[in-house]
Amino acid sequence: MFKKKNLVVLSGSGISAESGISTFRGGNGLWDNVPVEEICTPEGWRRDPAKVLGFYNKLRKQLGEKQPNAAHEIVAELESLYEVCVITQNVDNLHERAGSSRVLHLHGELTKVRPEDCYTHSDGFSTKYVQDIGYRAVEMGETGGPRNRQLRPHIVWFGEAVPNLEKAAQLVSVADVLVIVGTSLQVYPAASLYGYAPPQCKLFLIDPDDRLGGHIPGVTFINDVATAGMRRLKEEFLQNL
């Protein structure tokens, strides 16, 4: 019986940019418009939680108005050819909405919240009190969890551990094919994940910045935006079946 090979897709904000979702870095990126320390750190949360909630409420509303693009859809379609697992640095849900069945979020999920004192080292990264709220806003005074604490975005902020990193490294370590798309490979520790790929793994990097072509030894570089690059990659996969 034919056994599908393992395909791991490591995606970043560039794959969602063509859906109209702002990247965090680059021209007019989110971090260019709002200081990262104010809305993406535990210190910012403690200093002004209302401001942080307002920022993520706005992003959540915008996400509800966006749709997956061809790159997300092609990743989902590849499940007919491979055992596909998506490891995404994105906090949007466009991979899931496009039809991908296995998505691991490294940096959290915008449509989810949790009590501010949960999902920490002290509780063993418990997800028991994580709530899926869709695209609605969260207000100050809205609480949940065993200690009835203020709900916060289910986002991994700077200065916090990345709970799913070990699971992601394990997935990459058994990959037959690794596709990196939409990420500048500047955000660590996620940017180091390709280093866990086994020697026989085929590596592909899709990015419009031609300066990234020589970043990874042995990689096949597709110098294009995510949608066009994924179309080219799918054609290559079909030709080599």
Active-site residue numbers? 107
32, two tokens = 């260019």
Residue 36: CA count within 13 A, CB half-sphere = 10
Q: What CA–CA distance (Å, rounded) separates 184 from 241?
A: 29
C-alpha closest to that of 107 among 124, 123, 116, 119: 119
67, two tokens = 């749709």
16, two tokens = 């969602």
* 3-class secondary-structure state, position 99: coil
Q: What is the number of helices (H) and of strands (E) in the chain? A: 9, 10
210, two tokens = 């031609």
